[in-house]
Structure 1
Amino acid sequence: MGSRAAEQRQEARQLAARLSAEGVRNVALTWVDNAGIARVKTVPAERLAAAAERGVGMSPVFDVFTSDDAITASDHLGGPDGDLRLFPDLERVTTLAAQPGWAWAPADRYDQLGLPHPACQRQFARRMTERAAAAGLELRMGFETEWVVTRAPAGHPAATGADEPLDYPCTGPAYGMTRVVELSDYLRDVTEALSVQGIDVLQLHPEYAPGQFEVTTAPGDPVRAADDVVLVRETIRAVSVRHGLRASFAPSVVAGQVGNGCHLHLSLYRDGMSLHRTPDAQWGLAPDASAFLGGILGALPALLALGCPSPASYLRLQPSHWAGVYQCWGVENREAALRLITGAPDDPDGGHAEVKTFDAAANPYLAVGAVIAAGLHGIESATRLPEPQTGDPGVLGVRERARRGIVRLPATLTEAADRLEKSAPLYEAMGEVLHGAVLAVRRAEEAHFAESEDDAIAAATRWRW
């Protein structure tokens, strides 16, 4: 143990020296709170070794921060007492291409005695990944990140409010090449910055809403996928600032318009072989893959409280908007909450699934950890997938949906939080402290926006993510 600690100290010193030689002066250590906000402590580059050895102090109260920086409380967390230590993951230290002189690292949180903090979301994601590995399963995950870009307002860069005019720098049609032409320098710089930082970009294209774009990155292990999506968002934000633009990842930028999703893609492997390409199996799914997806589908009402954690999320979740608001699955069906993607026939590793409901207000570590927990519960309980749905459930009558067994997912945060509160598998996986902190934040968000109109909710949350 002492030898390993010495090796880590030496590694941290060498890394700090390399960063300093590259002109890096500060390192941002981030964690994501239960409201989905990326919070940060920074250290000078020369202090990175000390941070890796002893951690950086931070209050446990951040687990009960809401999206508007108010503070609530759970049975275990809240108030001014206590302290935690942030430990940077040295393997993920990244020099930031769009922020000269800066580097970034995700952090794990421990108590003063060196024990894992029970509400640390990143360690929750790691525990669930290890639980899957113990069952012989390898998971690969990746996110699609959608954002809306506008020109930064004159004067105060953080100006916001219901009357704030949104000045879109591109006016071309949805999915149109015109938008790429209008913002070609900006999009080139986004792609270049991500590439320099080791993020493998698969696609980048205009989306449906005004000023909206999407970037898809290559899958990796679940914790890395969550790290990557944090880095992707903050890189896009930094590139936007350098171009005099602002980026919003909020679920609903303008009430009534198509919002920003953050779809989660996942695939399962055993012994290096895809479980989505099993010969002669129904839908190509091996039994464990079918049960895993069945577990996710069954848990979706509760998972919404984690993947769609803001009242603004439910402004986005509208029928017939490709947001997946009905609890059903389908093969290449973009209206299904859980979409099975078959992949190219000649790709032996092709085929995966997509959870379409999630958005970027979600803490990505909670999202990947909870999805794994739900899938493993599906295997443990031998869950079976129902028949897949074709077409748009939103255009079916109420009776026809009932005949097919298609039900609407929670339409409010209150409904979703109620389902999370009653979910025994997610309570067991998350543990009492993390589960309770998440619910406390959800209830506080509900109460804060209880009397707010849709426009006011969108305006209040537009620049929080």
Structure 2
Amino acid sequence: MDKQQDFVLRTIEERGIKFVRLWFTDVVGTLKSVAIAPAEVEGAFVEGLGFDGSAIEGFTRSYESDLLSLPDPGTFQVLPWRGEIDPTARMFCDLTTPDGQPAAADPRHVLKRTLEKAKDLGFTFYTHPEVEFYLMKSTTIVDGSPVPVDDAGYFDNVPGGTAHDFRRRAVTMLEDIGISVEYSHHEGGPGQNEIDLRYADALTTADNIMTFRTVVKEVAIEQGVHATFMPKPMSGQPGSGMHTHMSLFEGDTNAFYEAGAQYQLSKVGRQFIAGLLTHAQEITAVTNQFVNSYKRIWGGDEAPSFVTWGHNNRSALIRVPMYKPHKGQSSRVEYRGIDSACNPYLAFSLMLAAGLKGIEEGYELPPEAENNVWSLSDAERRALGYEPLPSNLDHAVQYMEQSELVAETLGSQVYDYFMLNKRQEWYDYRAQVTPYELRTNLTAL
């Protein structure tokens, strides 16, 4: 038994843990959980816990359904919202077949596999997400829209307000569970909030995002409100993105940093951005996986809609943040298209794969967007070569369908299921008669 496993077993005994939840996600990023008794943990480390994979969206066909969940002891944490009544802990799991092979449809393994490719090239991939979400008074719809908990705006301080108390409680709980928070504040929409997680390796960050969503939901229930990561819950208000800062390190050296270069951005960094730009349309179905995601991308309110990059240009899809003098380690790129409802394991895999492709193939970085992309006319954008992101989920799936990069990175089983799932979502949406149609057509026609 290794040291991490021994630490888990000792902590379970010392803290009087009554239940241990084993966590993993399905292909679209829904968190799955099974609770085991403390006495079963040691056996789970050795043999895994069997379950019927065919019952989980996208995992296996019925005739090859048996899977094992192997808990990762490095992810062990006590869940603070359970308190001292029946103390409960959790561990994320890696999924395998009965013969010990990684499960083809395990999103966590997809990311691990892509990180291994980066490692083979000498890189470690770090990410830092800015996670936005809305707090609503309830799930009740009033006059066609949910009701936010406040009418505050960007960086507003609301003493005694729900969002203020919520963020304090959520950040404390995240810190208690070992997830470091860099910033938290009210965002631009009424009831909209943002909590930024500190830089970490991409696998840790993806695990942290799944835990983050659970913490936010638990705190909302505790405070009698509803939290949603829906990309665009209200018309005329900003959508919820998950702007993600990324960097590659070679050992302790930031591979994106070059002293004296334009914006202190190295050749590796420029090629990484070029890879993201080249493959942005192909990966959008995963970074923005729901019908509603495209209401954010094309609904205004500062969401990026065109495949561009710029230095500190918030209208661009990819931003190179302002360089901090004497802090070369902070050189990074920010991908602004991704929303906070994505499956982080798959989204990080594809963003990394696109960037690595740019490095491996020596992609040339096009000229930066120096002006406000939103304020340009369509003709001006065409003249500058600014390609649009997909206009809807169907459009995004068409790009994904033609992408060798996405198919290779996800693997055939995840790729096929994801495509099937998203086509069905589009068909279901397309068949709906919306309130907009009823409002504009019912009496007029």
TM-score of the two chains, using structure 2 as the length reference: 0.91
1:394 maps to 2:409? no
Residue equivalent to 1:444 = 424
Does the CA-based 8 Å contact 1:36-1:360 persist in structure 2? no
1:218 maps to 2:161? no
Gaps of 5+ in 2: 437-445
- Deviation of 1:256 after TM superposition, in Å, equals 4.1
- Deviation of 1:63 after TM superposition, in Å, equals 5.7
Distance 1:147 1:80, change over 3 A: farther
1:19 maps to 2:2? no
Task: Identify which of 307, 310, 319 aligns with 1:339.
Answer: 319
Matches within 5 A, 1:402-441: 402-441=382-421
CA distance in 2 between counterparts of 1:441 and 1:111 reads 23
- Deviation of 1:349 after TM superposition, in Å, equals 1.2
Gaps of 5+ in 1: 1-6, 66-75, 153-158, 457-465
Residue equivalent to 1:189 = 169
Residue equivalent to 2:440 = none
Residue equivalent to 1:156 = none
CA distance in 2 between counterparts of 1:380 and 1:35 reads 29
Distance 1:212 1:45, change over 3 A: farther
- Deviation of 1:14 after TM superposition, in Å, equals 5.0
Matched to 1:285, the amino acid is L
- Deviation of 1:283 after TM superposition, in Å, equals 3.1
Residue equivalent to 2:441 = none
Matches within 5 A, 1:293-442: 293-318=273-298, 320-442=300-422
Distance 1:455 1:108, change over 3 A: farther
Residue equivalent to 1:73 = none
Decide which moves more: 47-56 or 436-445.
Answer: 47-56
- Deviation of 1:52 after TM superposition, in Å, equals 2.0
SS at match of 1:178: coil
- Deviation of 1:395 after TM superposition, in Å, equals 1.8
CA distance in 1 between counterparts of 2:56 and 2:407 reads 17
CA displacement 1:22-50 (0-9 Å, x = unmatched): 24222222222222222222222332222
- Deviation of 1:455 after TM superposition, in Å, equals 6.3
CA distance in 2 between counterparts of 1:110 and 1:287 reads 39
Matches within 5 A, 1:17-416: 17-61=10-54, 64=57, 77-79=60-62, 82-100=65-83, 101-152=87-138, 166-178=146-158, 181-318=161-298, 320-416=300-396
- Deviation of 1:343 after TM superposition, in Å, equals 3.3
CA displacement 1:129-167 (0-9 Å, x = unmatched): 121111112221121111111234xxxxxx666878744
Count of residues paired in the alignment:
433
- Deviation of 1:58 after TM superposition, in Å, equals 2.9
- Deviation of 1:89 after TM superposition, in Å, equals 0.9
Greater RCO (Cα-Cα under 8 Å, separation 6 or more) = 1
Matched to 1:50, the amino acid is G
CA distance in 2 between counterparts of 1:433 and 1:347 reads 42
- Deviation of 1:348 after TM superposition, in Å, equals 2.6
Give the superposed CA RMSD. 2.3
CA displacement 1:414-445 (0-9 Å, x = unmatched): 11111111111222222212211221111121
Determine what percentage of the aligned residue pairs are the same residue.
24
- Deviation of 1:406 after TM superposition, in Å, equals 0.4
Does the CA-based 8 Å contact 1:63-1:119 persist in structure 2? no
TM-score of the two chains, using structure 1 as the length reference: 0.87
Distance 1:415 1:166, change over 3 A: closer
